Chains A and B, each alone.
Chain A
């Protein structure tokens, strides 16, 4: 009997579906696809709207809760609905490319900024809309603006905390307990690690299983790379030198391996995940971790007995580095050139970029202490302010943003480094694979320098 009921149910569902969709397709058989016709029918949430909807595509985690609140406010004020499509991060790059390729993209799409990637990967001059004439462009910080611009035209907006670079966060109490001070060079770093290890504390929390984190060690000492040759970035970009040609890259990788082999990343670094970083740091089992400076708050949130003064910041000490490099890139919004709603999309972006709403983002999103626009109040903690003063020179930019064809292979570089840490390949092999993949991308892009 149950099966009859079930099949009856299913048939009913099927009929209903045919009826639902039949209405629109039957009513306008000749008309080109009219996606709005169905939207109004089903979008009960936005029944109050005028039927206009802006769609936004973003990878998971790129859209913070306060932004969703602002979107609600926007809908209330303008009666224009905003539909955020949050896509699993591992699917996002392929999905976005497919959508752009076939002309089916959302009105606004998000992507990491980067002056090279937006041209070579996104083909922003074809797929994007020139926003240079917008009011907010004049308030937009120059270094960050550069990374969403092509040929002098601004195509995107980055509402993300750029001051918040990755650096070493350390537990001041543990350091004090064993009379340690923040290392100022590689030898001191090793000595600090050894002391901690001897006392049963794992020196560094590193999380290889997340796949995207451990290669930060490679990218974030860019200032040390630049110190070997002022023009290294330019030479890498015009292919007059390679990663394999420069001993400095291999030196860094070898130091990483030395640290891991000495046990300074502990026993479980391969299966650790980034999501547990704050909890493990709060537990006191680990003394240091690479993280964004502004995220000390995450650790404090887990253990309320900890205070802001319990954690400090120092730059990645490999290659005796003492500088925190600039990170002018972040998830940015671009308007799709094939969108029917370009003016509405501009209106929404202008709304988000108003000083009042930018300040709302800073004040309400814990991970944002500043955004790259002038005339706003920042909320950096004292330690972050000190670190910015002490370690940021503004000269070097992290390599994933400074060197072409590097950022798209971020995950692959992580895989290679993992293989190296397991002893399956050498640091020279890692450098050679980086060059190989850069050459592959360059040849796909028809780059004359390769």
Chain B
């Protein structure tokens, strides 16, 4: 069959046009600015080559810490969300009363805007009168009542925790869809052969769920690298600079009016994300075959 005729290019033209004009083009112009001394202090925009990048990678600035924090956040949230979501998806895909209710409720946090999530959690995690610490004090474990968002050793973990809380249900929903779409005949055949639960997972569920898992992992990693609002709203990068990530750093450079350095930082981040993204898509979907 002639694929060119059945699937003509114009099917993609609309998406392509919107994306290129209103998204790609401005972003590329933006990346161009990272080679200039563009700032709010002057009308002049001069080409300065790689100076902004030299500044970012020089040791006496904090930017390398931001990159490290970003990777830490990404790894922890990806593992946390995928692991917990997989466990829950396996647990909740059958034999639970009110399944639809539970699924709706668990998806709920991702419906809320970050602004709302952060409002509620700064209140819940308040060390003095937040309900989490009051709960620990009430059950007789006062030593567990911590300065969740203001202890530099804990703040990042608290942000990660809130983010996992928020994103887990969404990942779980995708995985449940994946699990339910596995044809029951496989399990019926397995039941006849008398395999146990772990073998069922290892030899049926996992291989067939792999493409879905791959998609969720890629999504989580890219989300983690791009993270901005939840950190900004919960800790604003603090205490001190303990939770500063790349995009909060970009935001702060812009606030100081140093647009050139700000865009250079986001360009660095963009390159890191493209490399990670391509690498992961290759690794995770390399052996996927088209279902005919």
Contact = CB atoms under 8 A, between A and B. Distances in A.
A422 B258 CA distance: 28
Given A211-B238, A444-B42, A270 B256 contact: no
Q: Is the interface of B mostly helix, strand, loop or mixed?
A: loop
Given A270-B147, A270-B150, A445-B42, A121 B257 contact: yes
Contacts of B128: 267-268, 271
Contacts of A101: 40
Contacts of B232: 90
Contacts of A409: 256
Given A271-B149, A424-B152, A444-B257, A415 B41 contact: no
Contacts, number: 82
Contacts of A267: 127-128
B259 to A, nearest CB: 8
Contacts of A424: 152, 240
Contacts of B41: 120-121, 441, 444-446
Interface in A91-117: 93-94, 97, 101
A173 interface: no
A419 to B, nearest CB: 3
Contacts of B149: 209, 271
Contacts of B122: 209
Contact of B126 (A121, A126, A271, A422): A271
B238 A437 contact: no
A440 B258 contact: yes
Contact of A209 (B44, B150, B152): B150
Contacts of A298: none
Given A268-B127, A415-B240, A126 B43 contact: yes
A123 interface: yes
Contact size range, B: 20 to 34
Interface residues of A, number: 33
Contact of B241 (A209, A408, A419): A419
B239 interface: yes
B40 A97 contact: yes
Interface in B36-59: 37, 39-44
Interface string A419-443: 1001011000000000001001100
B231 to A, nearest CB: 13
B145 to A, nearest CB: 11
A228 to B, nearest CB: 28
A271 B122 CA distance: 9
A412 interface: yes
B286 to A, nearest CB: 35
Contacts of B40: 97, 101, 121, 444
Interface in A51-107: 90, 93-94, 97, 101
10 shortest A-B CB distances, which residue pairs?
Answer: A419-B240, A445-B41, A270-B150, A444-B39, A444-B41, A268-B128, A271-B150, A418-B240, A97-B40, A94-B254
13 contacts: A94-B255, A101-B40, A208-B150, A209-B149, A267-B128, A271-B147, A271-B149, A409-B256, A412-B252, A415-B237, A422-B152, A424-B152, A440-B258
Interface of A: 90, 93-94, 97, 101, 120-121, 123, 126, 208-209, 211, 267-268, 270-271, 408-409, 411-412, 415-416, 418-419, 422, 424-425, 437, 440-441, 444-446
Given A267-B127, A422-B239, 18 more contacts: A97-B254, A123-B43, A126-B43, A208-B150, A208-B239, A268-B147, A271-B128, A408-B257, A415-B238, A419-B239, A419-B241, A422-B240, A424-B152, A444-B37, A444-B39, A444-B257, A446-B41, A446-B42
